[in-house]
Amino acid sequence: MLAALGKMTDANQKEMLAGLFLSKFNTKESKAGLKRLGYATFQDAYKGLAELVGGNPLSVRNYRDEFDPAFPNGRTGYNMRKMHPTRQAMLDAYGAMDLETMAELLEEQFLGTEKFVSALDKALETSSTGKEVAKKAEKVSISDPAHFISGSINPESAVGKERMVQTKTRVSQSRFRKWILAIYGGKCCVTGLAVRQLLQASHISDWSADPANRMNPSNGLCLSATYHVAFDKHLIAFDENYKMVLSKSIKEFCTNEIHKRYFEAYEGKSMHMPTKFPPDKMLLAKHLECLV
């Protein structure tokens, strides 16, 4: 993972990365890190993450305690101990990452999906159209996932196969978001807002209803949270010229300055276009038909 970590085993390095994540993103006020990884408690996270790499739950906890003094998380951890060089190297490399980026890193490292992610990215890089990307991505499968390393889950069992599907879905969704933010230059296509934490990848044609276009970058828009919800609820849409259209129902609310500023001000304005894989006009047209 990092050359500075020397002779540490791969499992030890990943335990340390997990400890850093849990230290950074779980405070008295928020359990965002735990929730993002699907765990309810720290104990669940220690056990679950260690099992994924054949490690030790106590090691994950100890690493978390070692990183605690570096963050305002409400815990003191090992605050009287000088940080070990290997811990400092990990902190320097990953300490500034935002939650979503670091969670994606953990998914790749702990769920054994590095090859899967690489294959998805290759599909994006070697395709000239969004539909071509989607077709190539559909053929990519996860092989030998790390969460079967302990032998506690048989990949051929019903539970194992379900875990495989869940893993592929979750990692694919994370990768799709990364693609969309990248091709839109990290900006909301409506407002130009460039705060990564507020940006979301919106599917023009719904993920669950249109499997063929799930990984089609031309089926995605980079929208900040408010516009993502408005788009999903069919309160706004875009026409064949990529200009925003407001629904009748939302126009009824455009009677004060706030509504005018957020919606009326953008009516008829062209979206900020991506560097490649422009939104599919047919999918936009279908969405436009559903305005409420």
129 touches 137 (CB < 8 A): no
HSE-up of residue 137 (Cα within 13 Å, Cβ side): 27
Domain range summary for the chain, segments of one domain joined by +: 3-97, 114-183, 196-288
Query: What's the whole-number mean pLDDT along residues 122-138?
Result: 97
Q: What would the pLDDT profile of 7-49 be if each residue is shown by its tens digit? A: 788 889 999 999 999 998 877 666 788 888 888 889 989 988 8
68 touches 23 (CB < 8 A): yes
Tell whether the model's pLDDT for residue 160 goes beyond 70.
no
73 touches 23 (CB < 8 A): yes
Q: What would the pLDDT profile of 49-82 be if each residue is shown by its tens digit? A: 888 877 899 999 999 999 998 888 878 777 777 8
Mean pLDDT of the chain: 88
Q: In Å, how far are 2, 103, 126, 215, 255 from 174, measured between CA atoms? A: 23, 9, 20, 11, 38
